[in-house]
Structure 1
């Protein structure tokens, strides 16, 4: 339902899971009603509405037969082929289509019959980026593709060896992208919730774009997740009822969405020590990665705003060790938990404001060393043009509490590989790595000295954002891809996998959003039946589990949202004072106009029909909108 009031815009939208359930039911109904054979199949492009380079192919055979599907590439080595097991009813995902093209899809039955069908695609979603440059070979990639998740004004996408986009999401699923054991992707929800980039939760998504589950969290989702052996999910979150953020993680039941266990980083040690240049009392730790290590039954966490990687016991949550520059840390912590460098100290560097920590199978620690500031002392901070970022691997001895740097890549490239934020590393095997520097920014050809490249102006020709992804094997660069935007992480994946590539059935929305904090004190105001001025551009978007109030307001004005009926009222204070953003890990939700303000209100905690009013300075205005909460 969409309509515009004279001054206030209102829209009611269904959850994407609901829309996808309806789309799947529609094409399955059509399939049930039509006679579809392998030489005259039903083909539905973009079946789940958000992945335009995919399709679903549906047909029946009298006897169980296997089916091999091939999407023809621009050359034969760019073909995407998948063989599906024998069946009589075939509902097959088609992956790896090209944009704006009559893609030829070949169908071959195990009995030898062959046919082809045309899958016609349109253009890419507006913010999908095209590869600037790629250096690799099809032999090295072996049919794999490089996927990236967005951090700037871009969208998740996947690119083949030739740099062609063969997979593209039209919704901004954010932060980390990991393949689950069942072959689906685990990605942050596209539903923005709280500034600067927290989203409602984590989504499990098929390669065709179907949301199998959204796991909503009361503290929302940020940065990273890890799938446990039993399928349950470690997810980074926080508690919005206190003054700090990004310092908690939870274990979520894969089937129910229930929170099974919580770890609180706050309280492990003092928050105001070991500060990086981006530290604040609000975002003191800034946890941006989680990794579970089975041999030690421990969790490794990356704290950007203390230049520290910590390891805690999975069961007790107690500290095991801390990896980072000991400068600025209390002596008692350094003596008990920090490592002493050994080996070639001339080529040893600590990591600073790191991302993407992981533990290798033999117990080494890897991360992307952003190098932001590259010192614990302000007087020694480096300018970005003189700095470097890198992937690094450390060997640690927890008995002797010693650390040795055994590999790095990126320092030698200087400012041209420098990302002060985001990024990741992957360890495929000893001496085979991926290093993704996704937050490079230039002004007039030099590394930007702005706090973060997310704030660069894409309309300014002197500003440039770039992402560079490199794979190194035996110290030889085997893959390098340049993209003209910021990308949070990169992952090399196949389009198809060994699990169920086309699970059918209704997607689910699990967990819950926390009750939105209310404000007890409502100022005395003059109430008017007139709606607010059109200048404010107020918009209300209602969903099944929340609604969003947004508009344009001058900094420092008094702004409150009021929900009222004859029995009760709910009042929400909306800050119009900008909080300094020392970490904008996903700038996708940034508004071009910094006066644009929004508030998401969960429907949890109250019910009824409420008139929506808004206080702007000394007046309370009627919007003419009513919200129904079941």
Structure 2
């Protein structure tokens, strides 16, 4: 009796659901169907379809072939109106309409206009989908400065012509008790203990987060082959994102779809800082040697001093072993570095301290190898933080933080030029140091590491990039973020005298001269000082210069020079030649590495994919 009543009730309930077939399709005796909530005239919605991008979704095509798709995320009050077209290639790849840019912890309204086709019949339609997206989530270290979901944002200025910008932020979480627990020990050395949880997001010019990387599915601090600092993010010509971390280099699209996720070739270890997507489709990886045989017969893992070139299939086609190309015993810069901030190895107890000749000599004679300041292979003597391939002469341009030098090296492994202080370069390298000139080509007088007028070398700089669009033949333009530690081969009397700047140089490669044509930051003084990290890069779409002062804005203990609070990085963008920012956006309570304009148009484009 009870069984009969239950069956009758169940059938009645199914009848109710059948009355709402537009919203629900429950399946059953009528044949194959679906049993989830449906909206609009297409198929089901897949939130976070690939597991690593929670503010994305796919509206499935429901068996139709889709064309002429436009997506609009209806903005919050006073928000940024995000609208983009989707290529047929992207629609086929994702099996529906890729949705990017949902607001976190919010019921988003998504307008989609499209043409759907089935067996020759076409219909043009517009639907509005209501999609709730989850809050931003990241792993934390449990410290007081972690007051925001990733970071806070204060928009100070955005000129109208830059309001369409989206900025990709590559930040790095604080050290935590579950990270930085592993070290290489066979052979000695390496930098595996350099291990911080990733913080990556895209923000709009209203300051809202519109995408973030949920790294957990591809990241594991307990596995040395799944961890490491995520760095070197770039949007490739095909619109996808490449980067490296620990012992891996990877490529994903903005929806989170994996293109490749590869272990480094066994000859190398410890990728960080830079993955350059070259014009020939190859990748130039800033790695280190997994087994370097020193002249004294010792085997070591080196630290941030090898460039590997790999093709599209991950095959190594060339390498630059810098300990064999440069002078790994040049110690002028090493002796004036602030030992409290050797890149991300922040140690407040060492703030303001420099190495004496005796201390450096003792370290070099010891068997201490690894991510430590010192000369010779197996120690952090070079600290290369960017690589840029120049197809004009088949060379690479590198930024060596611990040599305070930007260096161009050919395919033949010969140094073409050195942009940096002439102090300490021995014969064979000294002749390659560029000579400063003014706008008329007249030599600028320099003594030691200091020059007359506004010209200055870069000091512990980051991101030395050739500006292809402005360069021609032997005349090239190079941008860099001059961090400024050890400026003039010395530490200042007071820590607040330090400053950082963005800078652009014009180099005559034939004459061996360099002219400084633009700088910004010196006038702001210590306010923009970034002891470590940061970026300056030309943006052709707006004929502009992007600058990310990535560890500035912290409060300092002026007695020790150490961070008293978390940094508050600042994004700047300038029209070419201007020193008045068109964009100024400050992030709050975070440690930045790099940031750059992200193009959703390129990410969803078919034209680029057909190259």
Query: Is TM (by shorter chain) over 0.5?
Result: yes
Q: Residue by residue, what CA displacement relative to the aligned partner does 1:207-256 show, whole Å, maximum 9, x if unpaired?
A: 112222112113231110111223111111111323331111111121x2
1:414 match: 525
Aligned-residue Cα RMSD (Å) equals 2.8
Structural mapping, 1:86-105, within 5 Å: 90-105=95-110
Q: Which residue of 1 aligns with 2:477?
A: 364
Query: Aligned partners of 1:165 and 1:447: how far apart in 2?
Result: 37
Measure, in 2, the Cα distance between the counterparts of 1:160 and 1:392. Answer: 26
Instruction: Determine which structure has the larger strand proportion and give its number.
Output: 1
- The 8 Å contact of residues 442 and 448 in structure 1, kept in 2 or not, is answered as no
Give distance in 1, aligned partners of 2:59 and 2:493: 55
Which residue among 265, 271, 277 is the counterpart of 1:221?
271
Where do residues 330-369 of structure 1 align in structure 2 (5 Å cutoff)? 330=426, 333-334=429-430, 336-343=431-438, 345-361=452-468, 362=471, 363-369=476-482
Q: Distance in 1 between matches of 2:33 and 2:128?
A: 22
Q: What are the Cα deviations for residues 76-97 of structure 1, in whole angstroms up to 9, with x where unaligned?
A: 8722222335699751211000
Report runs of 4+ in structure 1 exceeding 6 Å deviation: none
Aligned equivalent of 1:483: 587
- Offset at residue 40 of structure 1 (A): 4.9
Structure 1 residue corresponding to 2:404, chosen from 285, 289, 307: 307
Q: Which residue of 2 aligns with 1:184?
A: 240
Match of 1:55 in 2: 57
Checking the alignment, whether the CA contact within 8 Å between 1:438 and 1:487 is kept in structure 2 is yes
2:180 equivalent to 1:124: no
Of 133, 147, 155, 2:199 maps to 155
TM (normalized to structure 2)?
A: 0.68
Structure 2 CA distance for partners of 1:241 and 1:290, relative to 1, 3 Å: same
Contact 2:270–2:304 at 8 Å: present in 1 too?
no
Unpaired stretches in structure 2, ≥5 consecutive residues: 1-31, 116-122, 140-148, 175-197, 220-228, 293-299, 338-372, 439-443, 445-451
Moved more, 133-142 or 97-106: 133-142
Q: CA offset at residue 148 of structure 1?
A: 1.0
Q: Does 2:508 correspond to 1:397?
A: yes
Q: Which residue is equivalent to 2:167? A: 146
3-state DSSP of counterpart to 2:518:
strand
Q: Equivalent residue for 2:74? A: 72
- What SS does structure 2 have at the residue aligned with 1:266? helix
Q: Distance in 1 between matches of 2:86 and 2:510?
A: 50
Q: Tell me the SS of whatever aligns to 2:551.
A: strand
- Contact kept, 8 Å, 1:177 with 1:185, in 2: the verdict is yes
Q: Report how far residue 144 of structure 1 moved.
A: 2.6
Shift of 1:270: 2.4
Deviation at 1:332, TM superposition (A): 5.2
User: 1:510-557 CA distances to partner (integer Å, 9 max, x unpaired)?
Assistant: xxxxxxxxxxxxxxxxxxxxxxxxxxxxxxxxxxxxxxxxxxxxxxxx
Q: Distance in 1 between matches of 2:289 and 2:508?
A: 34
Q: Aligned pairs, how many?
A: 448
Secondary structure of 2:402's aligned partner: helix
Report if aligned partners of 1:375, 1:381 keep a CA contact under 8 Å in 2.
no
Separation in 1 of the partners of 2:495 and 2:274?
26
Question: Which ranges in structure 1 are unaligned for 5 or more consecutive residues?
Answer: 1-31, 190-198, 451-455, 457-461, 504-630
SS in 2 for 1:497: helix
Confirm or deny: 8 A CA contact 2:533 2:594 kept in the other structure. yes
Q: 1:332 to 1:236 in 2, by over 3 A?
A: closer
- 1:589-624 Cα offsets, whole Å, 9 max, x none, are xxxxxxxxxxxxxxxxxxxxxxxxxxxxxxxxxxxx
* 1:394-473 alignment runs, 5 A limit: 394-428=505-539, 432-440=544-552, 442-443=554-555, 449-450=561-562, 456=563, 462-473=564-575
CA deviation vs aligned residue, 1:346-380 (integer Å, no higher than 9, x gap):
11111111110011221112211001121324xx5
Cα distance, 1:97–1:130 mapped onto 2, change above 3 Å: same
TM-score (norm 1): 0.66
Distance 1:445 1:495, change over 3 A: farther
The residue aligned with 1:324 is 420
Aligned to 1:82: 84
